[in-house]
Structures are given as structure tokens and as C-alpha cells.
Structure 1
Amino acid sequence: MKKSLIILNSILVLSVISCKKSTESGNKSVLKSNDNGAVLADNGEIDSTIHYETDVNGKKYLKTDYVYKATDGSLVKVVFNYEEKTMSVRSNNKTFILNKVEAKGNETTYEKMDMKATVKGDSLILDQGNNIIELVKTKI
């Protein structure tokens, strides 16, 4: 009886110890946030490229799609998917999906093949080979 009780207790202790998770492990695609609920960049600072909207009840939520305007007047729809760490750029019925490469406190970089996008505040700079397109967020 004592042997089975000792074995049962040791199995219980081992299962409790093995199920503990550290704060660094787990799902890596979950957005990190601080106590204020602000999303953090890869370096641990608040990611200022992520903007919040407030609903009628005063609750904050992430706004993930924006319309940007190029210097030539054309409009571009940009959708940020924070869970998948991607950004899609849609213009002239073509959509380009870029992966998040790096995030600093005030600047986020997305890349895919020869296309690179840098988001800093209300500006978005697309770099594709020799073409550099500067975009500014609109209030539409």
C-alpha cells in the first residue's frame, strides 16, 4: 500500500512539474503586450506602427486596414495581419503579401522576394528593385 502511494505521489509531482510553462515559451505568434494592453515590437518597446481605434463604448481595438495615398494620387489598400505577421498591399487589382522581418519601437519592416516595405508612423515606403514608392496614410 505504501509503495503504491509513493509511486502515485511521485507520478503526480512529476506531472505537475512537467506541465509548467515559462513566460517565454508557448505560441510565438501571439502578440506580446504590456500592462496597458499596447502591442510590443520585437525589441520590447511599444510598437508605434500599430494604431488603435476606440468603439462607442470606449473599448480599444486594433485597426488593421488602412488606405494609403501615393505621391501620384493613386490609392492603395494595406491590411496588417498581426497574428500571421504579414502585410498585404492591394493596388490595381493586384495583391502583394509581405512577411514581417523586423520591428523597432517606431518602424516595422516587411519583405518578400525583391519587395520591401517600411512602415514608420503614417508613412509607408515600398521598395521594389529600382522603384521606390512613398505612401501616406489617408483619413478616408
Structure 2
Amino acid sequence: MKIHQLAIACIISVTLASCKKEGNKGIIKSDQEIILADNGKPDSTISYNVDVDGNKSIKTDYVYRASDGTLVKVVFNYDPADRNVSIRSNNKTFILKKTEAKPSETIYEKDDMKALVKGDSLILHQASNIIELVKTKI
């Protein structure tokens, strides 16, 4: 009888101890904060990444692929003082300043070069050339 009561007491204590767990603390949480566009509406093309400690990263880089297969590195700088995009391809870097933001697209420009960012696509206009880029999952 004492063994039976001891076994029940062990099961109850294990059950109570397991209920106090708060989940796996090794998992990194990534929350995104919505940033407003120039017109005051949410801009889906810009968001800060917040790590577990609450630190915000304001630069994000992606790899885009052109229709001919060329890979292009694109770095977005979301610093409120100087929002720009840096596009690097063939050892050349172009830095374009943000000129306009709408809820679903953002426009960056410098001289004769213009970049339209819409979702996972980036369309470059340089003089009479149009280059379409799509974000890769690398």
C-alpha cells in the first residue's frame, strides 16, 4: 500500500513540476514593428527586426536575382535620418536615396537611376534600361 501511495505521489509531483515550465527559452523570437510611410499609412516594404533583447536592426540586406540569373546584393538602411538603398552588382555599388513611400511600394532615386521596391520585387530604371530583380530565398 505504501508503494502504491509513493508511486501516486511521484506522478503528482512530476505533473506539477512539468506544468511550471514556460517553454523552450532557447528559441529566438523575432517580432516586427510596422513602420509608417510618408503618408502616415503602414509601409509593408519596411520593418524593423527586433531580437530577443529588444534591439532593433535598421539595416537589412537581401540577395536579389535578375532575370538573367545575376545575383545582386541589396542593403536597405531604414535609419530615419538617412533612408537609402545600396545596390551592389559586378563590384559596383549604387546608393539611392528614398524619395517616396506608399503603403505597398517605396521609391529610391539618384541622378538618372530609380528603384521601385514592391513586395519581393525591385525594379531598376537606369536611363532607358529596366532591370527586374526578385528577392531570393538564399
Match status 1:122 vs 2:114: no
- Larger proportion of strand: 2
Match status 1:80 vs 2:83: no
Match status 1:47 vs 2:64: no
- Residue 70 of structure 1 corresponds to which residue in structure 2? 66
Equivalent runs, 1:96-115 vs 2, <5 Å? 96-115=94-113
Per-residue deviation, residues 1-51 of structure 1 (Å, max 9, x unmatched):
xxxxxxxxxxxxxxxxxxxxxxxxxxxxxxxxxxx9421100111110014
Is the CA contact 2:46–2:78 (under 8 Å) kept in the aligned structure 1? Answer: no
Cα 1:71–1:97, aligned 2, differ >3 Å: closer, same or farther? same
Per-residue deviation, residues 50-97 of structure 1 (Å, max 9, x unmatched):
145464x39584451111110101100111111211111000000001
Identity %: 67
Aligned-residue CA RMSD (Å): 2.0
Is the CA contact 1:48–1:105 (under 8 Å) kept in the aligned structure 2? Answer: yes
Rounded Cα–Cα distance in structure 2 between residues aligned with 1:82 and 1:75: 22
Where does the alignment leave 5 or more consecutive residues of structure 2 unmatched? 1-31
- The residue identity in structure 2 corresponding to 1:76 is V
Which consecutive aligned stretches of 4+ in structure 1 deviate over 3 angstroms post-superposition? 51-55, 57-63
Is the CA contact 1:52–1:60 (under 8 Å) kept in the aligned structure 2? Answer: no
Rounded Cα–Cα distance in structure 2 between residues aligned with 1:131 and 1:105: 26
Selected match of 2:34 from 15, 38, 55:
38
Rounded Cα–Cα distance in structure 1 between residues aligned with 2:104 and 2:38: 11
